[in-house]
Amino acid sequence: MQERKKAVVILSGGLDSTTCLGVAADASYDVYALTFDYGQRHRVEIEAAKKVAQHYKVKEHRIARLPFLKDIGKSALTEDLYDVPTRGVQEGEIPITYVPGRNLIFLSIATAYAETVQASAIYIGVNALDYSGYPDCRPEFIEAFQQVAKLGTKVGVEGLPMTIETPLLHLSKADIVRLGTSLGVPYELTTSCYQGEEEACGECDSCRLRLEGFRQAGVQDPIAYRKQNAR
């Protein structure tokens, strides 16, 4: 019997990463989910990630704790000194919700984890369209990291490099919702709100992007909001 292929999925508990998990599961991967606890104020995502991982019956779900990101971040996602933006994404601007080096660190750890469990792919839900201006969500970054992973791992040197899979990279938020809905992704288990409260605020940039995506897709968002402002 042929051994099933393995994939590491970086799972935050939000809409994009959960859709990625759905894509990996649909591609018949044995999924090893990896969630990061980096002192983010929206820690309800971690509980959401646990529920999503249980729903998909992943092979393993690891939670990596990175408290130092909170200390060095200077981000509204990690420090109460800064307000979470509610004015919508501004084109050409890197918002205060950017966490320096976050995806670089996440992918580095995911690469080590993937090599350890002998996974051939790493899934990450970066998006170059509705990406809030984050530089570590661009195709150029992913291409560069793919080369780094090839050069810096035993499997890469031996000619069997793992691939960085970004199935959402060129999709709009509406397209992501449509894709996930077609795959039966349990969006009712997810949360995207930057405020990190039990009920999504409906006003932060992340909520606005999500609500607009569901609206454009013609799909009802199954989670509760205090307000439902479109972007």
Report the C-alpha gap between 37 and 45 in whole angstroms: 9
Q: What's the average model confidence in pLDDT over 175-184? A: 98
Q: Given pLDDT bands bounded at 50, 70 and 90, which one contains residue 230?
A: very low
Q: Give whole-number Cα distances, 16 to 5, 48, 115, 171, 191, in Å.
A: 22, 13, 24, 11, 10
Indicate the SS3 state at residue 121: strand
CA 175 to CA 16: how far, in whole Å?
A: 11
Distances (CA, A) of 41 to 47, 56, 81, 136, 189: 13, 26, 12, 20, 18
Would the pLDDT of 121 be above 90? Answer: yes
Q: What pLDDT does 90 receive?
A: 56
pLDDT of residue 205: 85
From the CB of residue 17, how many other CB atoms can be counted at a distance below 10 Å? 26
pLDDT confidence of residue 66: 86
Query: What is the maximum span of the chain, computed from C-alpha positions, in angstroms?
Result: 56
Residue 92 per-residue DSSP state:
T
Q: Which two tokens stand for residue 210?
A: 């999500």
Round the average pLDDT of the chain to a whole number and report it. 88
In the block, which residue shows the tokens 């606890």?
37
Give tens-digit pLDDT for 36-54.
998 787 788 999 999 999 9
Query: Which residues lie across from 164 on neighbouring strands?
Result: 122
pLDDT at 181 over 90: yes
Place of tokens 């990291």: 145
Contact 199, 226 (CB under 8 A): yes
Quick: pLDDT tens for 83-111. 666 665 555 567 766 777 789 999 999 99
| C-alpha span between 129 and 150 (Å, rounded) | 26
Provide the pLDDT for residue 210.
Answer: 94
Neighbours of 172 (CB within 10 A): 17
150 alpha carbon, distance to own chain's centre: 22
196 to 76, 126, 220: CA distances (angstroms): 12, 20, 21
pTM above 0.95, yes or no: no
H helix or E strand, kind and range, residue 104: helix 102-117
Residue ranges of domains in the chain, CATH in brackets = 6-217 (3.40.50.620)
Read off the pLDDT of residues 122-163 as tens digits, 9 standing for 90 and up.
999 998 876 556 788 889 999 999 999 999 999 999 988 899
Residue 8: pLDDT band with limits 50, 70, 90: very high
At 38 the pLDDT is 82
User: In the predicted model, is pLDDT for residue 120 greater than 70?
Assistant: yes
Q: Count of residues for the chain?
A: 231
